Structure 1
Amino acid sequence: MNRQTKFIVLFFCIIKLILHLIADSHSGFQGDELLHIETGKHLAFGYMEFPPLIAAFAFIQNLFHSNSVFIHHIFPHIAAILIIIYVAKTTLELGGKNKAVFLVLLAIIIAPGFGRSEQLFQPVVFSQLFWVLGFYQLVKFTKHLDKKSLWYLTLFCILGFLVKYDSIFFIFGLSALLVYQRTRTALIKHKFWLNILLFLICIAPNIIWQFLNDFPLLQMTDRLYETQLDKISRFENFTSLLIAINPIVSLLLIIPALFYLFKSKDQIFVRIISTTIGMSFLLLLFKNGKAYYFFPIILTLLSFGAIFWEQIVLLKRKWIIYPMSFLMILGAVLIPFGMPVYSFNRYLEKVYPHEEKEIQGGEFGVKYDEYYTQNKWKTTMQDLQSVFETLSNNEKQDCLIWGKHYAQAGAVDLFGESYNLPKAFSYHGSFYRWTPKGTMPNTVIALSYQVGNFFNPYFEEVTLVKSIYNPYADNDEELYQRIYICRKPKQDFGKMKELFKKRIFE
């Protein structure tokens, strides 16, 4: 990078970080984040929903013994900055210069989908990071056919798999390297089977963990298709994707990127790279993944769109960069639809009127719960505390809190100490692995969303004592949280685990 390029990249890194820090100050935790934070207290080779690497990040963040959003977003922010840097480096490696780098980084900044997916402590942002890092090494290997790039590519495939299983789509695309004689010859020369062997050795502990635990990943995938993916058409997914990455970005960079890849098919290294992207995309399309599953592929395409403008248009009509940049900057109005850069009250005033909000009994329909969970979990903890204080001293001694949803159990474990609450357990998701053993306490406080008489089969006495209204819920189930006092359990924890063995994701 020359000095001017470094300045452009530094500028966008600063803008990106500022936006995320502002969002931190306005938001609480999204429900899945509370599960991911908890994994840091239970390091293992695998979890029911995802591979083990995010737990290592959580473990480090947990060393701060903090429940602040900022602390638990340290690694997502680092990942987001590295994505900016390596998308820029990829653009340069593909032959782009300063104007292309400027356009591609501006596109990432104004895409609401990238804003949210790179804000939260979820495997998604790390999946994007390792995909981008892997793609950068793929470009270098395809151009230079060097052994070093191949080993780095292997490393990022390993890390990608260990953070999110959707890396399999990227790895599938790499099979295109065997199709072309140029890369096939280089792979054989570098004894690529050693790279495959290292990959298999590194992921083996997770595969063994899945085998020993009856492959919960397959159970989760079946449940995901049953409740979500089979109900979404590919057209709906495609439409959601175009909106998530900003329609302006789609028009100005993605479509030109496809044109550029087609036009440059005579360049062998571009042809190889476009084939790997195409194979990844087709497999993902076949599996009907959610819109955000395509985000890493979009991050690889943006560079080609920016290079198209720089090499084909801007060389002859340099003035176009100004109206184009202005139009893309106007697209920044969509940033608040992806991350809470507004205060919540301003969000309700400016963004909320555009959201769908047809929930019977609700007042609002806020799409993303991190916008309002600061108050949601504070209220929940206060109400749990008031219920806990009504118990006798004998009941308090061994009382536990049963969180029906893993987010509820995670919230109690993260915030509960400040309210002198007992520990939580849950049979939902990975919390199933961490449930207590032995005899259940005589008194359990149960916290759930609207689930009817869910707890009645497991206790002689179940009393509803509080209902917590959530005016911001965007679905019927989360409109209320219920707090129950449950007494005289009918079974011990061992029996409970057996009863929920096939219901982990319900």
Structure 2
Amino acid sequence: MNRQIKLIVLFFCIIKLILHLIADSHSGFQGDELLHIETGNHLAFGYMEFPPLIGLIAFIQNLFQSHSVFVHHLFSHIATLLILIYVAITTIELGGKNKAVFLVLLAIIIAPGFGRSQQLFQPVVFSQLFWVLGFYQLVRFINYLDKKSLWYLTLFCILGFLTKYDSVFFLFGLSALLLFKKTRIALIKHKFWLNTIVFVLCIVPNIIWQFRNDFPLLQMTHRLYETQLDDISRLSNVTGLLIAINPIVSLLLVVPALIYLFKSKDKSVVRILSTAISLSFLLLLYTNGKSYYFFPIILTLLPFGGIFWEQRVLVKRKWILYPVSFLLLLGAVLIPFGMPVYSFNRYLEKVYPHEEKEIQGGEYGVKYDEYYTQEKWATTIKELKSVYDSLPNNEKQDCLIWGKHYGQAGAVNLFGTPYQLPKAFSYHGSFYSWAPKGQMPDVVIALSYRVGTFFNAYFEDVTLVKTIYNPYADNEEELYQRIYICKKPRQSFNKLKELFRTRIFE
């Protein structure tokens, strides 16, 4: 990497970091982040929704004992910068130079889908990182057929699997190595079965955890298809993907990347890589995953788009770089549609009018809840505090809070300590694994969204005491949060866990 390319990478890393820090200052936590933060208090070989690595990262962040967005986005931002750096390095390894690197990194910066997925503390950003790192080592292995690259590739496959199960799509793409004589001979020479054994040994603890917990991954997947994925057509999925990564990026880099891959004369390298990418894409398309599941594949395509412009167009017409760069810069207007780089009031003024999200009973309908959750959870915790303080001392002693949704339970555990609130439990998602055992206390404060008489089945006396209105919710269920005082439980915690065994994701 020459000095000019280093300066380009440094420039985009600084811009990217600034954008994320501005977004941090304007946002609260997205609902799923509260679950991920809580995993750091319950280290395990697996969780109901995802593999164990996110818990280890959360554990490190939790050592700061902070509920700051900046602290809990620390590793997400590090991963984001590493993604930029290694996409640039991959571009160079594929033969690109400064112009290709510039176009590729600019494309990543202006993609709203990358902005949001790399902003939040979720397995998604770390999955993208290990996919990019794995793809870089794949390129190196195809180029040099060396054992070192193969072992690094194995390492990032392990880390990818322990981060998010969508790594199976990347692993499926690696089967392309067996389809070509050049790489097949190298794999046999380096005894690739040893790499396979090491990979299996490293993921076995998570597989055993899945087995001992009745494979919650299968239950979650079934529920996901039942409630979401079965209603999404593959065409709308691909269309949503092209919009999420910015239509300008799709037109100026993704399409040229596909042209380069399938028309390149470099048969020994590009054909293997194009086969690997195609296999990953086709399997993902067949399973009909959400559009953001394709983001790592786009990150592997973009370098080829940059190289297409640099090697096929700019060689003879250097001036074209300026209009192409200008068009990409115009795409920056979509950044606020993915990241809260605007303050919330400015967002409501500038971005919200372009989103048709108004729902019956609501005043707005904001698409991404991190824009307003600072206010939402501050209000919720204060209302819970007032309900808790209203209890007689003898009822406070063993009182716990039941969060119907894992985000609610996570919010109570993250923000409730300064208010001296009791800990929250839940039977939703991974909170199911951490539910208390033994007898229930005589009094439980329950927090839910609209659930009607849900708690009546578990307590003899259920009283609705507070209703919290959220004018920004983008669905009717979350317009209101309800706080109940529940007395005289009908069963123990052990019985509750048995009752919710097949309802973890409801």
Q: Normalising by the residue count of structure 2, what TM-score does the alignment of the two structures yield?
A: 1.00
TM alignment of 1:23-172, pairs within 5 A: 23-172=23-172
Check if 1:390 corresponds to 2:390: yes
Task: Tell me the alpha carbon deviations over residues 141-167 of structure 1, each in whole angstroms, 9 at most, x when there is no partner.
Answer: 001101100000000000000000000
SS at match of 2:433: helix
Report the AA paired with residue 21 of structure 2: L
SS at match of 1:486: strand
The CA deviation at 1:480 is: 0.5
State, as a whole percentage, how many aligned pairs show the same letter: 81
CA distance in 1: counterparts of 2:202 and 2:294, whole angstroms:
25
TM alignment of 1:376-455, pairs within 5 A: 376-455=376-455
Q: Where does residue 373 of structure 1 map in the other structure?
A: 373
SS at match of 1:327: helix
Q: Where does residue 18 of structure 1 map in the other structure?
A: 18
Q: Where does residue 343 of structure 1 map in the other structure?
A: 343
Report the AA paired with residue 321 of structure 1: L
The CA deviation at 1:418 is: 1.4
Q: Where does residue 295 of structure 1 map in the other structure?
A: 295
Q: Where does residue 204 of structure 1 map in the other structure?
A: 204
Q: Where does residue 471 of structure 1 map in the other structure?
A: 471
CA distance in 1: counterparts of 2:418 and 2:369, whole angstroms:
22
CA distance in 1: counterparts of 2:322 and 2:165, whole angstroms:
41
Report the AA paired with residue 405 of structure 2: H
Task: Tell me the alpha carbon deviations over residues 23-46 of structure 1, each in whole angstroms, 9 at most, x when there is no partner.
Answer: 000000000000000000000001
The CA deviation at 1:267 is: 2.3
Task: Tell me the alpha carbon deviations over residues 458-478 of structure 1, each in whole angstroms, 9 at most, x when there is no partner.
Answer: 000000011100100001110
Task: Tell me the alpha carbon deviations over residues 224-268 of structure 1, each in whole angstroms, 9 at most, x when there is no partner.
Answer: 000000011111111110110000000000000000011115421
The CA deviation at 1:419 is: 1.3
SS at match of 1:466: strand
CA distance in 2: counterparts of 1:8 and 1:68, whole angstroms:
31
CA distance in 1: counterparts of 2:453 and 2:75, whole angstroms:
40
Shift in CA distance, 266/8, structure 1 to aligned 2, threshold 3 Å:
closer
CA distance in 2: counterparts of 1:324 and 1:206, whole angstroms:
46
SS at match of 2:365: coil
Task: Tell me the alpha carbon deviations over residues 410-467 of structure 1, each in whole angstroms, 9 at most, x when there is no partner.
Answer: 0000000111111000000000010111110100000000111110000000000111
Q: Where does residue 491 of structure 1 map in the other structure?
A: 491
Report the AA paired with residue 457 of structure 1: A
Report the AA paired with residue 163 of structure 2: V
TM alignment of 1:241-390, pairs within 5 A: 241-390=241-390
CA distance in 2: counterparts of 1:448 and 1:332, whole angstroms:
38
Unaligned runs of 5+ in 1: none
SS at match of 2:416: helix
Deviating above 6 A after TM superposition, structure 1's stretches of 4 or more consecutive aligned residues are none
Report the AA paired with residue 111 of structure 1: A
Unaligned runs of 5+ in 2: none
Task: Tell me the alpha carbon deviations over residues 185-225 of structure 1, each in whole angstroms, 9 at most, x when there is no partner.
Answer: 00000000000000000000000000011000000000000
Size of the aligned set, in residue pairs, is 506
CA distance in 1: counterparts of 2:127 and 2:356, whole angstroms:
29
CA distance in 1: counterparts of 2:463 and 2:356, whole angstroms:
35
Q: Where does residue 191 of structure 1 map in the other structure?
A: 191
Q: Normalising by the residue count of structure 1, what TM-score does the alignment of the two structures yield?
A: 1.00
CA distance in 1: counterparts of 2:114 and 2:134, whole angstroms:
18
CA distance in 2: counterparts of 1:239 and 1:452, whole angstroms:
37
Report the AA paired with residue 422 of structure 2: P
Report the AA paired with residue 40 of structure 2: G
Report the AA paired with residue 209 of structure 2: W
Task: Tell me the alpha carbon deviations over residues 156-186 of structure 1, each in whole angstroms, 9 at most, x when there is no partner.
Answer: 0000000000000000000010000000000
Note the aligned Cα RMSD (angstroms): 0.6
